[in-house]
Structure 1
Amino acid sequence: MPINLADIERGAPFAGDYASALAALQERLSRAQVAQIVHRRRAVIVLEGPEGAGKKAVLKALGAAFDPVHYNVHNITPDRRHSNEGHWLARFWNCLPAAGHTAIFLHSWYRRVLEDHVMGLVSEKEWKRGFDEINEFEAQQRDYGTLLVKLYFHATDRILDERIAARASDPWRHHLLGPVELRTVDGREAYRQALAQMFKQNDTRWAPWTGIDANDEPAARISALTVIADALEAAIPKEPPERVQPAIHFSKPAKVTPA
């Protein structure tokens, strides 16, 4: 059943001690990442949503929990290449994680069927073909043992407008306003139509979408981090693997007697 964004527009504030809940989740995520590293599992986390929906705040919270050596963040911008310069998914293959690592995509291959489509950067034939290409790409990752977690952050137009206006009025936050995302503000209805089609085509059994109510930022962070922690814990064994090498024994260095 495709996601209906109207179902997640509650905007209820987080009930409870936010600081304690965040710390507990970050501890869970840290432990889950250690298990992922030890078991040499791969994970891909996709953060999608409009400008002002709180994706970067979740990214910062993840960064505070994860060992930075074992994850990479990819901020995906529109593909400016022409079709004769190679397949459009090629740049994403180059970003996929190695064993024991996580790749986090701030926007992703879904730009093809969302922003790029709405802004007319790709032809109708190209974006329609993109749905099947994405499904095949994600199925290949799951067949190869990679965990896929796809989160879509949704907030109402009123909330998004308030957040964008706050950034526009603060010169220290102008850098948070992406020109591509701002151009889609005027085309929100077209974006909603593209989004509905994307959920219909790409909310699959092997790579399902999870909608995040982003109207209340603290609640959205807790919700998103909980989904990620649950997914990692479900996919990765909690016990360490059997030792494949002899135990390493350390001996004290021999005491040297002065001459």
Structure 2
Amino acid sequence: MAKGKTGRRRPRGGHLASLDMDASIKRADYEVRLKKLQTRLQRIQQAYLYTGDAAAIVFEGWDAAGKGGTIRRMSAVLDPRGFKVWPIAAPRRYHLERHYLTRFWERLPPNGAISVFDRSWYGRVLVERVEALTPEARWRRAYEEINEFERILTADGTRIVKIFLHVTPDVQLRRFEERLRDPMKRWKLSYEDFRNRRHWGEMEAAIEEMVDRTSTKHAPWHLIPANDKKYARVTALRLIADRLAKGVDLAPPPLDVRVETAAGEIFEASDLIASTAGRTS
């Protein structure tokens, strides 16, 4: 086994080659696990709004790997006042004239919030590298810049979860075909999706180096086999929930004394308040 610059042992043949691409889950099990995970995520968000904790969740992966579907299973149950999804596309002129991390600093979560990045600052060492959109010296320098960026965030208390969804070329092509046939999903396809397939080997090399160089103790990468979408979703959400919940009291916060007093004056229902607290404990 080789050893990356972060000191982690790299599986022979690469990180992606070590994944079990046949991993799957039955629909009945998926539905049960998904519901439990969504409930847990709701408790986590409630706790964050009370404690002021914050988290940044990074989703990277191949086109049609299931990033959007996984994110939707989160956004469907979380309150948008404390949850924000940032879809990252090519930067506009304003950001092209500034350091590439500028637009990500501006989108970091405030206290008590959770932000999801649908693609992220890792574009510099993935698509920008493979498509030669930035000079080699710059994308090579980015590994160190990204590690320091994430170190600063975690040192300041922001939790980071980094997910990469991996699919095989044949599964990706089948999903492209499904999108072409479904008028409601065609918007997800672009010319670049097909063009990128010609760079599959180069992208694999970029992914391997990205993991070697930027999977750190404070912000490790989680690579998930995603040929089975349901398996990938529950695996990703479990990893996210475990990281966000670590060291956090997920019990419902106590009722504000002023709220309790005002409610008692209006409803004259101290028993109701007590019973409500009992149900949520």
Q: If the length of structure 1 is used for normalisation, what is the TM-score?
A: 0.90
Report the Cα distance in structure 2 between the residues aligned to 1:166 and 1:252, rounded to whole angstroms: 59
The letter of the residue matching 1:129 is R
Kindly state the Cα deviation for residue 235 of structure 1 after the two structures are TM-superposed: 4.1
Give unpaired runs (5+ residues) of structure 2. Answer: 1-7, 267-281
| 2:21–2:226 contact (8 Å) kept in structure 1 | no
How many residues get paired? 253
Task: Find the residue that maps to 2:89 and give its secondary structure.
Answer: coil
Among candidates 77, 92, 95, match of residue 104 of structure 2: 92
Kindly state the Cα deviation for residue 187 of structure 1 after the two structures are TM-superposed: 0.6
| 1:147–1:235 contact (8 Å) kept in structure 2 | no
Alignment-derived partner of residue 225 in structure 1: 237
Kindly state the Cα deviation for residue 135 of structure 1 after the two structures are TM-superposed: 0.5
Q: Classify 1:25/1:244 alpha carbon distance in 2 versus 1 (closer, same or farther; 3 Å).
A: closer
Kindly state the Cα deviation for residue 242 of structure 1 after the two structures are TM-superposed: 8.4
| 1:9–1:156 contact (8 Å) kept in structure 2 | no
Corresponding position: 1:252 with 2:265: yes
Identify which of structures 1 and 2 has the higher relative contact order when contacts are C-alpha pairs closer than 8 Å and 6+ apart: 1
Among candidates 2, 25, 32, match of residue 14 of structure 1: 25
Task: Find the residue that maps to 1:205 and give its secondary structure.
Answer: coil
Kindly state the Cα deviation for residue 247 of structure 1 after the two structures are TM-superposed: 7.7
Task: Find the residue that maps to 1:249 and give its secondary structure.
Answer: helix
Alignment-derived partner of residue 257 in structure 1: none
Kindly state the Cα deviation for residue 65 of structure 1 after the two structures are TM-superposed: 2.3
Report the Cα distance in structure 2 between the residues aligned to 1:91 and 1:81, rounded to whole angstroms: 12
Among candidates 173, 176, 181, match of residue 161 of structure 1: 173
Q: Classify 1:142/1:178 alpha carbon distance in 2 versus 1 (closer, same or farther; 3 Å).
A: farther
Kindly state the Cα deviation for residue 82 of structure 1 after the two structures are TM-superposed: 8.4
Alignment-derived partner of residue 175 in structure 1: 187
Report the Cα distance in structure 2 between the residues aligned to 1:118 and 1:229, rounded to whole angstroms: 32
Select between 34-43 and 75-84 the one with higher mean Cα deviation: 75-84
Kindly state the Cα deviation for residue 177 of structure 1 after the two structures are TM-superposed: 1.3
Q: If the length of structure 2 is used for normalisation, what is the TM-score?
A: 0.83
**Identity between Structure 1 and Structure 2 (%):** 34
Q: For each residue in 1:155-198, what CA deviation from the matched residue of structure 2 results, as whole angstroms up to 9, or x when unmatched?
A: 11111111112112333211111444433111111111111111
Report the Cα distance in structure 2 between the residues aligned to 1:140 and 1:71, rounded to whole angstroms: 22
